[in-house]
């Protein structure tokens, strides 16, 4: 008791001395933070939230300050994309009227990327493809005139939306071919189980004007491609399970297929493979391709990469191997690279962390722990 009394007395004296030395803190004003101006190292990380799947969200993360800047809510099993000017986020998602159950409402929501306010929505027929996020679940036309949404019921089709009038223009049947790969102001290509691409060309009002089926450009039985494309200057590159790179030029009236090339040597083929959810990223000006690679066999195509391999897109030569597990990172399931002259490579792991690398050297700068539960798609304007 005596000791306690002495302690209290000393504490009171100390507090009194401090109060004499410094003025009290001023009263604070509650405000809402404004989003800082965009920069090249901002990234949008889609967390599928697989363990409570009705509650996906997009986290905005700054690759320079390592700050989380804000969030866009994304509902259930969403698709996500950015407008061509980067000013708008578009999310195709589903809500149930009683949270986890009840009437299903499929919707496309538009969020202003300067304020993170969700400003508009378009209610869809209940057909939206509920699948893993890619560039091609929901996408803008190059001139932002249309937004396309992939439908699977399981019959495949897509919706054409008017993002200016916030209305559904119509639905176009795709004869079993899936997803919406946009090109130009009015073309949509879809991947078919035969290894071909169906390309639908729209008229000025957004209705089908014509369609064409390409030749097969990969073998879905022997070596399927991942549906997650990687943007290149004139289209997308698709990686195959065994490491072939199929570059597809979508700049013309129909897709043009470049000669495939391989990420792996003959000795590595079947041993080392790309894998994960977002299986590649390309710095288009530098012509560098980043791929998470792992050792594995058939069925390992969703395994994350224990190394990131870097390729020159012109010479098709591997120019670097960056082991990630030696840096105490879990296998990498998604990659994205900023497009500036001091690029950052973002790598999401299967333990929900997002690593920030110098994309020129492979130097690990930062690990952002637990950026959501299941960060499976990362986009940047």
Q: Which residues bind another protein (CB under 8 A)?
A: 50-54, 76-77, 94, 96, 99-102, 104, 126, 129-132, 152-156, 173-179, 191-194, 220, 224-227, 298-302
* Sequential DSSP letters for 207-256: SEEEEEEPPP-S-TTTSPBPS--EEETTEEEEEBTTSEEEEEE-SSSS-E
Of 224 and 362, which CB lies nearer to another protein in the complex structure?
Answer: 224
Smallest separation, CB 218 to another protein (Å): 10
Report how far apart the first and last C-alpha atoms of the chain are (Å, whole number).
66
Of 196 and 288, which CB lies nearer to another protein in the complex structure?
Answer: 196
Of 83 and 131, which CB lies nearer to another protein in the complex structure?
Answer: 131
> Using CA atoms, how far apart are residues 231 and 208, in angstroms rounded to an integer?
25
Q: Where are the extended beta strands (E) located within 4-100?
A: 42-47, 56-62, 68-82, 88-96
Smallest separation, CB 340 to another protein (Å): 32
* Count of residues making up the chain: 381
Smallest separation, CB 4 to another protein (Å): 48
* Cβ contact 336:379 at 8 Å: yes
User: Tell me, what DSSP letter sits at residue 146?
Assistant: -
* Cβ contact 303:331 at 8 Å: yes
Smallest separation, CB 64 to another protein (Å): 33
Smallest separation, CB 272 to another protein (Å): 17
* Cβ contact 369:377 at 8 Å: no
Of 179 and 356, which CB lies nearer to another protein in the complex structure?
Answer: 179
Smallest separation, CB 99 to another protein (Å): 8
Of 124 and 310, which CB lies nearer to another protein in the complex structure?
Answer: 124
Of 126 and 185, which CB lies nearer to another protein in the complex structure?
Answer: 126
> Using CA atoms, how far apart are residues 93 and 344, in angstroms rounded to an integer?
29
């Amino acid at each position: 008791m005596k000791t306690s009394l002495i302690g209290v007395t000393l504490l009171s004296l100390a507090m009194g001395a401090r109060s004499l030395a410094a003025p009290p803190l001023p009263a604070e004003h509650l405000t809402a933070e404004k989003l800082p101006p965009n920069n090249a190292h901002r990234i949008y990380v889609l967390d599928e939230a697989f363990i409570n799947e009705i509650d996906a969200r997009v986290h905005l993360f700054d690759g320079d300050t390592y700050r989380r800047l804000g969030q866009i809510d994304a509902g259930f099993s969403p698709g996500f994309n950015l407008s061509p000017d980067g000013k708008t986020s578009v999310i195709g998602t589903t809500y149930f009227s009683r949270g986890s159950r009840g009437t299903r409402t499929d919707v496309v929501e538009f969020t202003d990327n300067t304020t993170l306010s969700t400003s508009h929505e378009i209610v869809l027929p209940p057909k939206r493809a509920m699948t893993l996020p890619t560039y091609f679940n929901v996408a803008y036309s190059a001139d932002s005139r249309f937004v396309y949404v992939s439908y699977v019921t399981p019959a495949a089709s897509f919706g054409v939306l008017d993002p200016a009038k916030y209305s559904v223009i119509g639905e176009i049947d795709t004869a079993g071919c899936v997803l919406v790969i946009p090109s130009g102001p009015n073309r949509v290509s879809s991947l078919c189980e035969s290894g071909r691409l169906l390309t639908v060309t729209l008229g000025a009002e957004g209705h089908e004007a014509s369609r064409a089926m390409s030749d097969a450009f990969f073998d879905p039985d022997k070596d399927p491609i991942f549906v997650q494309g990687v943007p290149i200057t004139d289209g997308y590159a698709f990686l195959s399970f065994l490491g072939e790179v199929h570059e597809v030029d979508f700049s013309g009236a129909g897709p043009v297929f470049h000669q495939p090339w391989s990420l792996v040597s003959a000795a590595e083929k079947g041993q080392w493979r790309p894998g994960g959810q977002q299986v590649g990223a390309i710095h288009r000006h530098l012509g560098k391709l980043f791929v998470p690679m792992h050792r594995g066999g058939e069925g390992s195509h969703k395994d994350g990469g224990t190394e990131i391999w870097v390729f020159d897109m012109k010479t098709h030569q591997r120019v670097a191997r960056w082991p990630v597990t030696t840096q105490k990172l879990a296998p990498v399931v998604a990659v994205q690279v900023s497009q500036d002259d001091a690029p950052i490579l973002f790598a999401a792991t299967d333990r929900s962390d997002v690593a920030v690398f110098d994309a020129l050297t492979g130097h690990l700068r930062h690990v952002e722990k637990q950026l959501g539960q299941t960060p499976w798609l990362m986009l940047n304007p």
